[in-house]
Amino acid sequence: MSDPNERTAGERFTGHGSEWKSAALSAKEAQGATAWVEQIIDRRSMLTNKDRVEDVRDAMWQLEKDGEILVHRVSDEHRPVHVRTLYGWDKKIPTTQLWHHKSCGQCGNIPGYPTSLLWLMNQMQIEYLDETDQTSCTAWNYHGSGIGNVESLAAVFLRNFHQAYVASKAQGLPEGYYYPLVHCGTSFGNYKEMRSFLMHSAKLRERMRKILGKLGRLVDGKLLIPEEVVHYSEWLHVMRDEVAKRRVIDCSAIRATIHPACHVYKMIPEDAIYDETVLDGNRVAVSTGIMQTLGTQVIDYSTWYDCCGFGFRHIISEREFTRSFAIDRKIRVAVEEAHADVMIGHDTGCITTLDKNQWISKADGRPVGLPVLADCQFAALVCGAHPYKIVQSHWHASATETLMDKLGIDWRARKAEFEEYLKDVAAGRGETLYDPRRMITSGPGYKRLGQPG
């Protein structure tokens, strides 16, 4: 390499002409002059404080004081971990007594996604409730079709979060015992948007009081608003060291690319976790944090910020767009530029899009294949979860087998076990991760049970 300070003929460094003279700062002076930009300090909290950008949670506390709403708190019993968000603000992530707010896309076609999450929780003795009294957030349909509106979305948000608050009563536990954990990125973004609109609009709150009142879902006549809207990937992030302790498969040879989900970190960006220990806090921490902690190599690529191409309606009715985008701007870049072994995501729509839209690349003669998994599926896999019974990798269209080969997992044998196990399942002897009687907390099918565990 040539000396950067060497000047070659024809290359002048002469300022504005003959009057130029060197300021001749010493190397130390030069370094000192820009040292301020190199300091890794408490910078985001210092520079973008709440005088500059509004924190909707402050509006919540005020409305609670005014007696308009009740805030469902992340309390000590939820054993919260404090994290920092984009501007250095605090966010409380509950780690136990969690109410699973499932994702329809995950449950519908990537069932290994929630299963892996629940399996990890079982490994770590995390208390949770998975029940039938919940709806989709309805935001996929809304963003895709335009059917729905701010009132319907807000009402669904308030209804589901109210159910999370009262579900514990079925077990004879106090209200607020369980804290909602949102599985879907679309729901996570949507619920935070709705919370923000609710805090800003007295009119919307008034409408909601009427509707939620009709459903019997007010608390002391007030709307119930969660202190934090929490995504499962945030839970996984704060639990990453605990998870890594349970890792049984070496994954240091794995080159992982991360696909961060737009509705997770771009929507309400001030609420996304940035962690100094994860890429110096310059990229959203979830997924990257757990993958690094598990020991994989996280590889950057030039289209990291791009969306997956899901498009809500595009994946159904504008498929050329979705598959072109997924292949050309994500999968092919990860394979050819980053030489990735896997792409890891943390949202329903992205995983579906990136996983399912690879086969069609054969059509233009440039086939591309890259295993696509959710962060919690990868974590479960390397912690010894069964690749089919738990990770349910057979629902993935992408070549998860190549990843398992590289991890040294004998997937053919595991698959044969699973196919054998299907006979037990067909005979009604399937295994479950929790007592199925707990899944109904009221209405048809409800039977009163004692307190858990």
Partner 1 sequence: MTGVTATTRVQEFIGDPLAGTAPVAREKLEEIFQDIQADLRFDHELNGCLNCGICTATCPSAHYYDYSPREIVQLLWTENLEGIYDAMQEKIWACAQCYTCAARCPFGNSPGGLVMLMRETAIKHGMESAKNVLRPFSRVMLKLISTGNQLSPDMISRDAFPDWGPNISKVDAPLAVLRKAIPVPTLHTTKTAWEVNLKTSVELYTIWEETGVLTSLKVVDPNLFDVIGDIMDEKRDEYAEWLEEQEEETT
Partner 2 sequence: MNDPILIVGGGPAGLAAAHALARVGRRGVLVDKADRLGGAPILSGYAKLVPSGEWAKDAIGGMVERVRADPLVEVHTGTTVRAFDGSPGDFTAQLSDGTAVRAGAAILATGFTHFDSLNKPEWGFGTFPDVVTTTQVEQMISSGRGVRCPSDGRKPQRVAILLCVGSRDRQIGREWCSKICCTVSTNLAMEIREELPDCHVYIYYMDIRTFGLYETKYYWRSQEEFKVKYIKARIAEVTSDGQKLIVKGEDTLVKRPVTIPFDLVVHAIGMDPNVDNKTIASTFGVALEPHGYLARGNSYGNMAETSRAGIFVAGAATGPETIDDSIGQGHAAAISALGLLGAARAIA
> Quick check: 36 binds partner 2 (CB under 8 A)?
yes
The footprint of partner 2 on residues 323-382 (CB under 8 A) is 337-338
**Selected binder of partner 2 within 18, 125, 252, 282 (CB under 8 A):** 282
* Residue closer to partner 1 (CB basis): 58 or 419: 419
Asked whether position 10 contacts partner 2 by CB under 8 A, the answer is yes
Q: Where are the beta strands (DSSP E) in 145-250?
A: 179-182, 223-226
Contact between 85 and partner 1 by CB under 8 A: the answer reads: no
324 lies in the site for partner 1, by CB under 8 A: yes
Total residues binding partner 1 (CB under 8 A): 106
Residue 173 binding partner 1, by CB under 8 A: no
Does 323 bind partner 1 (CB under 8 A)? Our answer is: yes
Does 12 contact partner 2 by CB under 8 A?
yes
Cβ neighbourhood burial of 9 (10 Å; 0-12, 13-18, 19+): exposed
425 binds partner 1 (CB under 8 A): yes
Task: Name the segment binding partner 2 (CB under 8 A); options: 17-25, 157-165, 182-190, 395-403.
Answer: 17-25
Question: Is residue 422 a contact point for partner 1 (CB under 8 A)?
Answer: yes
118 binds, among partner 2, partner 1, none (CB under 5 to 8 A by kind): partner 1
CA distance 181 to 98: 6
Distance CA 100, CA 368 (A): 35
Distance between start and end Cα atoms, the chain: 66
Find which of partner 1, partner 2, none residue 27 binds, CB within 5 to 8 Å per kind.
partner 2
Q: Does 426 bind partner 2 (CB under 8 A)?
A: no
Rounded to whole angstroms, the Cα distance separating 330 from 326 reads 5
Shortest separation between residue 268's beta carbon and partner 1, angstroms: 9
Gap between the Cα atoms of 347 and 262, Å rounded: 9
Q: Report what 197 binds from partner 2, partner 1, none; CB cut-off 5-8 Å by kind.
A: partner 1
* Amino acid, single-letter form, for residue 22: S
Which of the choices partner 2, partner 1, none does residue 360 contact, using the CB cut-off of 5 to 8 A by kind?
partner 1
| Contact present, 227 and 72 (Cβ < 8 Å) | yes
Sign of CA dihedral 130, 172, 209, 231: negative
Give buried/exposed letters for 112-135 (b at 16+ CB in 10 A, else e): bbbbbbbbbbebeebbbbbbebbe
Work out what residue 444 binds among partner 2, partner 1, none; the CB cut-off runs from 5 to 8 Å by kind: partner 1
Helix (H) or strand (E) holding 10: none
Q: Is 274 in the site for partner 2 (CB under 8 A)?
A: yes
Which one among 85, 95, 97, 138 touches partner 1, defined by CB under 8 A? 138
Q: Considering the complex, state which of residue 293 and residue 358 has its C-beta at the smaller distance from partner 1.
A: 358
31 binds partner 1 (CB under 8 A): no
State the chain's maximal CA–CA distance in angstroms. Answer: 93
User: How far is the CA of 250 from the CAs of 156, 237, 243, 254, 381, in angstroms?
Assistant: 43, 19, 14, 9, 11
Runs of H (alpha helix) within 20-94: 27-38, 43-47, 56-65
Count the helix, strand and coil residues of the chain and give each as a percent rounded to the nearest 5.
45, 10, 45
Min separation Cβ 205 and partner 1, Å: 11
**CA-to-CA distance for 352 and 147, rounded, in angstroms?**
22
Which part of the chain contacts partner 2 (CB under 8 A), choosing from 221-229, 274-282, 287-295, 313-321? 274-282
Contact 287, 272 (CB under 8 A): no
Of 75, 77, 173, 269, the one binding partner 1 by CB under 8 A: 269
With beta carbons less than 8 A apart as the criterion, state whether 147 and 411 touch. no
Count of residues interacting with partner 2 (CB under 8 A): 49
Q: Return the SS3 of 345.
A: strand
Q: How far is the CB of 135 from partner 1 (least distance, A)?
A: 3
Distance CA 12, CA 84 (A): 48
Residue 12 interface partner, choices partner 2, partner 1, none, CB cut-off 5-8 Å depending on type: partner 2
Residue 71 sits in the site that holds partner 2 (CB under 8 A): no
77-116: contacts with partner 2 (CB under 8 A)? 87
- Report the Cα 207 to chain-centroid distance in Å: 31
CB of 241 to partner 1, least distance (A): 26
Q: Least distance in Å: CB of 23 to partner 1? A: 35
Catalog residues that contact partner 2 under the rule CB under 8 A: 1-5, 7, 10-16, 21-25, 27, 29-30, 33-34, 36-37, 43-44, 46-48, 51-53, 87, 269, 274, 279-283, 300-305, 337-338
